[in-house]
Chain A
Amino acid sequence: MSKSVIDLPPKGGFSFDLCRRNDMLSKKGLKSPSFLKTGTTIVGLIFQDGVILGADTRATEGPIVADKNCEKIHYMAPNIYCCGAGTAADTEAVTDMVSSQLQLHRYHTGRESRVVTALTLLKKHLFNYQGYVQAALVLGGVDCTGAHLHTIYPHGSTDTLPFATMGSGSLAAMAMFESKYKEGLTRDEGVKLVCEAICAGIFNDLGSGSNVDVCVITKGHKEYLRNHLLPNPRTYVNPNGFTFSKKTEVLLTKITPLKEKVEVIEGDAMEE
């Protein structure tokens, strides 16, 4: 008897077996659970020494804010970071997976990962799933060929740009970029512009909010500025907490102790 040494590769793609059942259930009135989306404003721009990425920190589930301070800038490689918009689970899973693949690639080649490698791995995966993996990404990094910034759409198409925005707040952020971006920005100018763009998204888009995360990547060095700006602090918290006034008058107090209905006897273990 020989064990099968080769693992059969999984067939890939989604199984749509339950679609008919889900359809039938929703016709009967069952509301399907909504998934956690990241609403989001994510941006990236290229400045003179490298790339700056920015993101807001609000995760929404329909009209509710599910996470007031989530992390949307994901680690891909020491020199490559990726902002994710769309379904939070999809962006996290996809960036995690490609980050793992990049690590293995680094071990095998002994070289620093290139941004185009991450780009190609991501777009191949997303195209494979024909847009069902709802992850819209802004990928940026600095490698041996220079600084690169790309956007990746859920269906698998990509763009290479000097500045980019994605997410529900992308129009507000793009307005800031289009009016204020110029080539050869310094680090401080770049960070300021990124913060302005994210704040435009935070204040003008319902799906984005809370704080600003920034990541600055240059040759051989990166700075992950978590919560670089906190433009939405909790302004007032009552130190006394909440008090609820008593509405019902107490007329009678009677306490009846519970009677034990079951007697516990120490016995032998159950016979088989």
Chain B
Amino acid sequence: MGDSQYSFSLTTFSPSGKLVQIEHALTAVGSGQTSLGIKAANGVVIATEKKLPSILVEESSVQKIQTLTPNIGVVYSGMGPDFRVLVRKSRKQAEQYHRLYKEPIPVTQLVRETAAVMQEFTQSGGVRPFGVSLLVAGFDDKGPQLYQVDPSGSYFSWKASAMGKNVSNAKTFLEKRYTDDMELDDAVHTAILTLKEGFEGQISGKNIEIGIIGADKKFRVLSPAEIDDYLAEVE
């Protein structure tokens, strides 16, 4: 349509009312590695595939799941370098909030501020939108929470969500398996099974990454050995 004529400039609406660059950013996300998150009754789990471009890559140096504050973690689908920049900015914002109010930043506030940064890059000159969607998992006074933030800057709270290559299959699987009273361990098992659905090759503790936060409000990334234990339970 006339849309393609408007796909050059980020800050121009196309006749159909879309910002085509953001659509393209979402496509970039959709071709990234699958990641998903599940909110349990007493915690949140986020997980992602960790497919490395070659067996020669030092796998322990790649960490896709990052900690933003002691009680908030984040995973992405899309472009890794864009993710790094967002993680840096979010950590700084969380620290600034803490310095100002002397309380740990609530999950909603951090998500809002990160989304605001992503939105800024959709309305400025000379920049492009971030090519990542984020899944933010946190546990604060309001309980466990899971948020998805898109390149456009919009964010939603989810009970369970997936992004990346296998998103439609993963979401269907999650819809069938999700229950409101799930415990954290069940959620981890469900996450692993969902990843397994679309996984090419042999799944192991070395090619997936899982981060959990429980009632102790401490976000941590599971070690490959712990993931292997969970995998053995699932088999």
Contact = CB atoms under 8 A, between A and B. Distances in A.
Given A2-B11, A96-B99, A100-B98, A107 B121 contact: no
Interface string B85-128: 00010011001101100000000000000000000110111110
A104 interface: yes
Contact of A3 (B67, B91, B92, B124): B124
B229 to A, nearest CB: 24
Given A2-B11, A108-B88, A100 B123 contact: no
A97 interface: yes
Contacts of A97: 99
Contacts of A3: 120, 123-124
A103 B95 contact: yes
A100 B98 CA distance: 9
Contacts of B121: 5
A104 B96 CA distance: 10
Interface residues of A, number: 10
A251 B36 CA distance: 85
Nearest to B88: A108
A8 to B, nearest CB: 15
A107 B125 CA distance: 31
A71 to B, nearest CB: 14
Nearest to B126: A2
Contacts of B96: 100
A147 B67 CA distance: 28
A2 B123 contact: yes
B123 A104 contact: no
Contacts of A2: 11, 123-126
Nearest to B127: A5
A104 B125 contact: no
A103 B125 CA distance: 33
Contacts of A108: 88, 91
Contacts of B120: 3, 5
Contacts of B88: 108
Contacts of A103: 95
A100 B124 contact: no
Contacts of A96: 99
A242 B95 CA distance: 49
Nearest to A110: B63
B21 to A, nearest CB: 14
Nearest to B66: A107
Contacts of B123: 2-3
A111 to B, nearest CB: 14
A201 B128 CA distance: 61
Given A2-B123, A5-B121, A107 B99 contact: no
Nearest to B11: A2
A108 B88 CA distance: 8
Interface string A1-39: 011010000000000000000000000000000000000
Interface of B: 11, 67, 88, 91-92, 95-96, 98-99, 120-121, 123-127
26 contacts: A2-B11, A2-B123, A2-B124, A2-B125, A2-B126, A3-B120, A3-B123, A3-B124, A5-B120, A5-B121, A5-B124, A5-B127, A96-B99, A97-B99, A100-B95, A100-B96, A100-B98, A100-B99, A103-B95, A104-B91, A104-B92, A104-B95, A107-B67, A107-B91, A108-B88, A108-B91
Given A2-B123, A3-B124, 16 more contacts: A2-B11, A2-B124, A2-B125, A2-B126, A3-B123, A5-B120, A5-B121, A100-B95, A100-B96, A100-B98, A100-B99, A104-B91, A104-B92, A107-B67, A108-B88, A108-B91
